Amino acid sequence: MVRKVKLAIFASGTGTNFQALHDAILQRQLNAEVVRLIVDKSSAGALNLAKLFGVPATFIKYSDYDTKVDAEQVILDQLTQDEVDGILLAGYMRILTPKLIDAYAGKIVNLHPALLPQFPGRHSILDAYEAGVDETGVTVHFVDNGIDTGEIIAQQSVPRFSSDTLLDLETRIHHVEHVLYPNTLEKLLNEGVFLK
Protein backbone atom coordinates (compact mmCIF):
# COMPACT_ATOMS: atom_id res chain seq x y z
CA MET A 1 0.00 0.00 0.00
CA VAL A 2 1.19 3.51 -0.81
CA ARG A 3 2.12 5.40 2.36
CA LYS A 4 -0.12 8.19 3.56
CA VAL A 5 0.67 11.64 2.23
CA LYS A 6 1.70 13.95 5.07
CA LEU A 7 0.13 17.39 4.78
CA ALA A 8 0.55 20.67 6.63
CA ILE A 9 -2.28 23.17 6.69
CA PHE A 10 -1.56 26.89 7.04
CA ALA A 11 -4.35 29.08 8.43
CA SER A 12 -4.85 32.54 9.91
CA GLY A 13 -8.52 32.51 10.87
CA THR A 14 -11.39 30.42 12.15
CA GLY A 15 -10.26 27.24 10.40
CA THR A 16 -13.47 26.35 8.58
CA ASN A 17 -11.53 25.12 5.53
CA PHE A 18 -9.12 23.25 7.83
CA GLN A 19 -12.19 21.50 9.25
CA ALA A 20 -13.59 20.74 5.77
CA LEU A 21 -10.27 19.23 4.66
CA HIS A 22 -9.80 17.27 7.89
CA ASP A 23 -13.35 15.90 7.72
CA ALA A 24 -12.94 14.89 4.06
CA ILE A 25 -9.73 12.99 4.78
CA LEU A 26 -11.45 11.00 7.54
CA GLN A 27 -14.88 10.50 5.95
CA ARG A 28 -13.61 9.61 2.49
CA GLN A 29 -10.66 7.65 3.88
CA LEU A 30 -8.28 9.63 1.71
CA ASN A 31 -4.70 8.46 1.63
CA ALA A 32 -3.44 11.44 3.62
CA GLU A 33 -3.05 12.78 7.11
CA VAL A 34 -2.70 16.30 8.46
CA VAL A 35 0.46 16.21 10.54
CA ARG A 36 0.86 19.94 11.28
CA LEU A 37 -1.12 23.16 11.48
CA ILE A 38 0.82 26.40 11.03
CA VAL A 39 -0.81 29.65 12.15
CA ASP A 40 0.46 33.22 12.20
CA LYS A 41 -2.03 34.50 14.79
CA SER A 42 -2.27 33.29 18.36
CA SER A 43 -6.00 34.06 18.26
CA ALA A 44 -6.66 31.87 15.20
CA GLY A 45 -9.71 29.69 15.76
CA ALA A 46 -7.94 26.98 13.77
CA LEU A 47 -5.80 26.34 16.87
CA ASN A 48 -8.87 25.17 18.79
CA LEU A 49 -9.74 22.80 15.96
CA ALA A 50 -6.19 21.41 15.89
CA LYS A 51 -6.46 20.63 19.59
CA LEU A 52 -9.82 18.95 19.02
CA PHE A 53 -8.47 16.91 16.09
CA GLY A 54 -5.19 16.01 17.82
CA VAL A 55 -3.16 17.78 15.14
CA PRO A 56 0.12 19.34 16.34
CA ALA A 57 0.07 23.12 15.85
CA THR A 58 2.77 25.76 15.56
CA PHE A 59 2.23 29.47 16.02
CA ILE A 60 4.79 31.59 14.17
CA LYS A 61 4.96 35.18 15.34
CA TYR A 62 6.60 36.85 12.37
CA SER A 63 7.50 39.97 14.35
CA ASP A 64 9.86 37.84 16.47
CA TYR A 65 12.13 37.43 13.44
CA ASP A 66 14.34 39.89 11.58
CA THR A 67 12.91 38.88 8.20
CA LYS A 68 10.06 36.85 6.76
CA VAL A 69 12.66 34.42 5.41
CA ASP A 70 13.95 33.83 8.96
CA ALA A 71 10.42 33.03 10.11
CA GLU A 72 9.92 30.70 7.16
CA GLN A 73 13.15 28.89 7.97
CA VAL A 74 11.65 27.97 11.34
CA ILE A 75 8.53 26.75 9.53
CA LEU A 76 10.64 24.75 7.07
CA ASP A 77 12.61 23.14 9.88
CA GLN A 78 9.34 22.03 11.48
CA LEU A 79 7.92 20.72 8.19
CA THR A 80 11.14 18.80 7.55
CA GLN A 81 10.96 17.28 11.02
CA ASP A 82 7.34 16.29 10.33
CA GLU A 83 8.34 14.85 6.91
CA VAL A 84 5.63 16.94 5.24
CA ASP A 85 4.93 16.14 1.58
CA GLY A 86 2.64 19.05 0.73
CA ILE A 87 1.12 22.27 2.04
CA LEU A 88 -2.50 23.39 1.88
CA LEU A 89 -3.11 27.09 2.44
CA ALA A 90 -6.53 27.56 4.04
CA GLY A 91 -7.05 31.24 4.69
CA TYR A 92 -3.38 31.94 5.39
CA MET A 93 -3.11 35.69 5.03
CA ARG A 94 0.58 35.94 4.24
CA ILE A 95 2.48 35.96 0.98
CA LEU A 96 5.07 33.21 1.00
CA THR A 97 8.65 33.93 -0.02
CA PRO A 98 10.60 31.94 -2.63
CA LYS A 99 12.40 30.24 0.29
CA LEU A 100 9.31 28.24 1.22
CA ILE A 101 7.80 28.05 -2.25
CA ASP A 102 10.96 26.61 -3.80
CA ALA A 103 11.30 24.03 -1.03
CA TYR A 104 7.83 22.71 -1.89
CA ALA A 105 7.63 23.61 -5.58
CA GLY A 106 4.46 22.24 -7.17
CA LYS A 107 3.24 20.97 -3.79
CA ILE A 108 1.70 24.10 -2.25
CA VAL A 109 -2.00 24.58 -2.94
CA ASN A 110 -4.07 27.67 -2.17
CA LEU A 111 -7.77 28.38 -1.99
CA HIS A 112 -8.84 31.79 -3.29
CA PRO A 113 -12.38 33.24 -3.00
CA ALA A 114 -12.70 34.56 -6.55
CA LEU A 115 -12.49 33.34 -10.13
CA LEU A 116 -8.83 34.05 -10.80
CA PRO A 117 -7.35 35.91 -12.58
CA GLN A 118 -10.17 38.25 -11.51
CA PHE A 119 -9.90 39.83 -8.06
CA PRO A 120 -6.54 38.58 -6.80
CA GLY A 121 -5.26 39.64 -3.40
CA ARG A 122 -6.55 39.90 0.12
CA HIS A 123 -9.97 41.57 -0.34
CA SER A 124 -11.31 39.60 -3.28
CA ILE A 125 -14.85 39.05 -1.98
CA LEU A 126 -15.27 42.72 -1.16
CA ASP A 127 -13.67 43.71 -4.48
CA ALA A 128 -16.08 41.49 -6.43
CA TYR A 129 -19.05 42.76 -4.42
CA GLU A 130 -18.15 46.41 -4.94
CA ALA A 131 -17.49 45.83 -8.64
CA GLY A 132 -21.11 44.70 -8.96
CA VAL A 133 -20.29 41.56 -10.94
CA ASP A 134 -23.08 39.04 -11.58
CA GLU A 135 -20.72 36.16 -10.90
CA THR A 136 -17.62 35.49 -8.86
CA GLY A 137 -16.41 32.18 -7.45
CA VAL A 138 -13.71 30.06 -5.90
CA THR A 139 -10.34 28.96 -7.28
CA VAL A 140 -7.94 26.27 -6.10
CA HIS A 141 -4.47 26.83 -7.51
CA PHE A 142 -0.82 25.96 -7.08
CA VAL A 143 1.28 28.64 -5.42
CA ASP A 144 4.09 30.29 -7.34
CA ASN A 145 6.15 33.40 -6.66
CA GLY A 146 3.41 35.78 -7.79
CA ILE A 147 0.27 36.84 -5.92
CA ASP A 148 -2.52 34.41 -6.83
CA THR A 149 -0.87 33.73 -10.20
CA GLY A 150 -0.13 29.99 -9.92
CA GLU A 151 -1.55 27.31 -12.19
CA ILE A 152 -5.30 26.90 -11.69
CA ILE A 153 -6.37 23.41 -10.60
CA ALA A 154 -10.12 23.88 -10.15
CA GLN A 155 -12.72 26.64 -10.21
CA GLN A 156 -16.40 26.96 -9.42
CA SER A 157 -18.55 29.98 -10.07
CA VAL A 158 -20.77 31.59 -7.45
CA PRO A 159 -23.63 33.91 -8.43
CA ARG A 160 -23.94 37.39 -6.97
CA PHE A 161 -27.55 38.48 -6.75
CA SER A 162 -28.63 42.11 -6.81
CA SER A 163 -30.26 41.66 -3.40
CA ASP A 164 -27.06 40.29 -1.82
CA THR A 165 -25.42 41.87 1.16
CA LEU A 166 -21.67 41.36 1.43
CA LEU A 167 -22.36 38.72 4.08
CA ASP A 168 -24.74 36.87 1.74
CA LEU A 169 -22.02 36.66 -0.89
CA GLU A 170 -19.34 35.66 1.62
CA THR A 171 -21.55 32.89 3.00
CA ARG A 172 -22.27 31.51 -0.47
CA ILE A 173 -18.57 31.58 -1.39
CA HIS A 174 -17.51 29.86 1.83
CA HIS A 175 -20.08 27.12 1.24
CA VAL A 176 -18.53 26.42 -2.18
CA GLU A 177 -15.01 26.52 -0.70
CA HIS A 178 -15.88 23.80 1.80
CA VAL A 179 -16.88 21.48 -1.06
CA LEU A 180 -14.45 22.42 -3.82
CA TYR A 181 -11.25 22.30 -1.72
CA PRO A 182 -11.79 18.76 -0.36
CA ASN A 183 -12.87 17.53 -3.81
CA THR A 184 -9.73 19.03 -5.34
CA LEU A 185 -7.54 17.56 -2.61
CA GLU A 186 -8.97 14.12 -3.36
CA LYS A 187 -8.17 14.58 -7.06
CA LEU A 188 -4.59 15.69 -6.30
CA LEU A 189 -4.05 12.75 -3.97
CA ASN A 190 -5.37 10.33 -6.59
CA GLU A 191 -2.94 11.84 -9.11
CA GLY A 192 -0.03 11.45 -6.66
CA VAL A 193 0.89 15.14 -6.92
CA PHE A 194 2.42 15.41 -3.46
CA LEU A 195 4.61 12.32 -3.82
CA LYS A 196 6.23 13.28 -7.15
The binding site for (6R)-10-formyltetrahydrofolate comprises 68, 93-96, 110
User: Which residues are annotated as part of the binding site?
Assistant: 15-17, 68, 93-96, 110
Q: Which residues contact 171 (CB under 8 A, 6 or more apart)?
A: none
Catalytic site includes residue 112: yes
Contacts of 180 (CB under 8 A, 6+ apart): 111, 138, 140, 154, 156
Sheet strands side by side (includes 86-89): 57-59, 32-39, 5-11, 86-89, 108-112, 135-142, 152-159
Find the helix or strand (DSSP H, E) in which 9 lies.
strand 5-11
Q: Which of 112, 141, 174, 178 is catalytic?
A: 112
Other CB atoms within 10 A of residue 81 CB: 10
Q: Are 6 and 31 in contact (CB under 8 A)?
A: no
- DSSP for 120-131, please give it: -STTHHHHHHHH
Q: Which residues are catalytic?
A: 112
